[in-house]
Amino acid sequence: MVSWRPSSVALLVVALGFALLHHSSAQNSPANYLRPHNAARAAVGVEPLTWDPTLQEYAQNYAEERAGDCDLVHSQGPYGENIFWGWGKVYNAKDAVQSWVNEEQYYDYDSNSCQEGKVCGHYTQVVWRNTERVGCGRVRCDSGAYFIVCSYDPRGNWEGEWPYRFSS
């Protein structure tokens, strides 16, 4: 029979906590954000993004500002920005970026517009040809939901400009 002493239980709880923290952090590393961004960019012939610690800090600070209400409000800062909100499971980098990339289905390249009643501006920011750098942040809000933000430099989604150009 195994005998559990209080110190053994405390050690087990701490070890499990670190394991969960590591697992959570591992799914939200710069590479976890860059891979899906750059896959979407490669699909339309756009150069890959690089990770920028200044943008990461900006995004993380803004995410932390939203932790109290988890409101889908843009920062109005100097960078391009995509925001994501999810509740009901542990949302990570891949979930957020995939939700933005999934908007591709609503983007019509020929008219350079979204289908009526649909959103596609998150997708066009992901693939914006002039954007070179990205940094992202993530928080668990007081409500238990997750708020994820990515900041882009230079920003995209300029009125009247195409996010990328296909060769004719």
Q: What is the pLDDT of residues 136-147, one digit of tens each?
A: 999 999 999 999
Q: Is the pLDDT of residue 106 over 80?
A: yes
E strands present in the chain: 50-51, 80-86, 107-108, 113-114, 133-140, 146-153
pLDDT at 26: 62
Beta-sheet pairing, 133-140 with 50-51: parallel
- Taking only the tens place, the pLDDT of each residue in 7-34 is 433 333 333 333 333 334 568 999 999 9
Angstrom distances, CA of residue 37 to CA of 12, 66, 105, 122: 37, 23, 16, 11
- Look at residue 136 and give its three-state secondary structure: strand
* Mean pLDDT, residues 82-111 taken together: 97
Which of helix, strand or coil describes residue 124?
helix
pLDDT of residue 27: 87
Of residues 74, 76, 59, the one with CA closest to residue 148: 59
Domains of the chain: 29-153 (3.40.33.10)
CA distances from 35 to 16, 52, 89, 124 (A): 28, 14, 22, 16
